[in-house]
Structure 1
Amino acid sequence: MWRALWTVSALELRARLRDGTAIVIALIVPVTLATLFGLALGGDDPPLKATVGFVDLDGGEFPASVRREVMAAKELKGSVTLRDLPSREQAGRELESGAIGSAIVFPAGFSASVGAGKGGDVAVLKTPESPLAGVVASAIVDRISAVVDARTLAVRAVLRAGVPGDQVKELVERNGAAGPAIGLADDPLAGGKIDLSVYYGSGMAALFAFFVVGASFRGLLTERKLGTLDRIRAAPVAAWVPVAGKAAVGFALAVAGALLNWGASVLIFGSTWGDPAAVTVVLVAHVLAAAAITMLVTSRVRTDAQADGVIMVVSFVAAFFGGSLVPVYNLPGPLQTVALLTPNGWTSKALTELAGSGAGLAAVALPVGVLCAIALTAGGLAVLGFRKGLLL
Structure 2
Amino acid sequence: MRPLLVVGGRELAARLRDGTAVLIALVAPILLATMFGFALGGDDDPPLKATIGVVDYDGGEFPASVQREALNTEELRGVLTFTAYPDEAAARAALDAEQAGAAIVFPEGFSKSVGDGRGGEVTVLESNDSPLAGVIARSMVDRISALVEARTLAVRASLRAGVAPEEVKVFVETNGAEGPSLALSSDPVSGGAVDLAVYYGSGMAVMFAFFVVGSSARSLLTERQNGTLARMRAAPIPAWTAVAGKGGVGFLLAVISMVATWQTSELIFGSSWGAPLGVLALILAHVFAATMIIMLVASGAKTDAQADGYTLGVAFVFAFLGGSLVPVYNLPDFLQSVSLATPNGWVSAGLTELASGSGLGAIVTPVAVVVGIGLVAGTLATLRFRKGLFA
- 1:212 aligned onto 2:223: no
Amino acid aligned to 2:287? V
Amino acid aligned to 1:329? Y
Displacement after TM superposition at 1:336 (Å): 1.7
2-side partners of 1:339 and 1:230: how far apart? 40
8 Å Cα contact 2:189-2:195 kept in structure 1: no
**Which aligned pairs between 1:1-392 and structure 2 lie closer than 5 A?**
2-43=1-42, 44-47=45-48, 70-73=69-72, 75=78, 77-78=80-81, 82=140, 83-84=143-144, 86=146, 130-131=187-188, 193-356=193-356, 358-391=357-390
Please state whether the residue corresponding to 1:84 is helix, strand or coil.
Answer: helix
2-side partners of 1:264 and 1:33: how far apart? 12
Please state whether the residue corresponding to 2:46 is helix, strand or coil.
Answer: coil
1-side partners of 2:369 and 2:284: how far apart? 13
| Deviations 1:16-68 (CA, angstroms, capped at 9, x unpaired) | 1011111110001110111111112224434498xxxxxxxxxxxxxxx9978
- Could you tell me which residue of structure 1 aligns to residue 130 of structure 2? none
| Deviations 1:283-314 (CA, angstroms, capped at 9, x unpaired) | 11111111111000111111111111111011
Amino acid aligned to 2:80? K
TM-score (ref. length: structure 2): 0.68
2-side partners of 1:68 and 1:126: how far apart? 12
Displacement after TM superposition at 1:335 (Å): 2.0
Please state whether the residue corresponding to 2:144 is helix, strand or coil.
Answer: strand
| Unmatched 5+ stretches in structure 1 | 50-64, 91-107, 114-121, 134-188
Amino acid aligned to 1:258? M
TM-score (ref. length: structure 1): 0.68
Displacement after TM superposition at 1:333 (Å): 2.3
2-side partners of 1:238 and 1:126: how far apart? 60
Amino acid aligned to 1:261? T
Amino acid aligned to 1:84? I
Structure 1 pair 305–123 and aligned structure 2 pair: CA distance change class (3 A): same
| Unmatched 5+ stretches in structure 2 | 51-63, 82-132, 151-170
Displacement after TM superposition at 1:332 (Å): 2.4
8 Å Cα contact 1:321-1:335 kept in structure 2: yes
Structure 1 pair 193–72 and aligned structure 2 pair: CA distance change class (3 A): closer
Structure 1 pair 344–132 and aligned structure 2 pair: CA distance change class (3 A): closer
2-side partners of 1:126 and 1:70: how far apart? 9
Amino acid aligned to 1:254? A
Structure 1 pair 47–369 and aligned structure 2 pair: CA distance change class (3 A): farther
2-side partners of 1:355 and 1:124: how far apart? 26
- Could you tell me which residue of structure 2 aligns to residue 157 of structure 1? none
Structure 1 pair 214–263 and aligned structure 2 pair: CA distance change class (3 A): same
| Deviations 1:49-100 (CA, angstroms, capped at 9, x unpaired) | 8xxxxxxxxxxxxxxx99786344354634866423548x99xxxxxxxxxx
2-side partners of 1:16 and 1:266: how far apart? 27
8 Å Cα contact 2:40-2:197 kept in structure 1: yes
Structure 1 pair 380–111 and aligned structure 2 pair: CA distance change class (3 A): farther
Please state whether the residue corresponding to 1:324 is helix, strand or coil.
Answer: coil
Number of residue equivalences = 297
Please state whether the residue corresponding to 2:237 is helix, strand or coil.
Answer: coil
8 Å Cα contact 1:299-1:386 kept in structure 2: yes
8 Å Cα contact 1:48-1:329 kept in structure 2: no
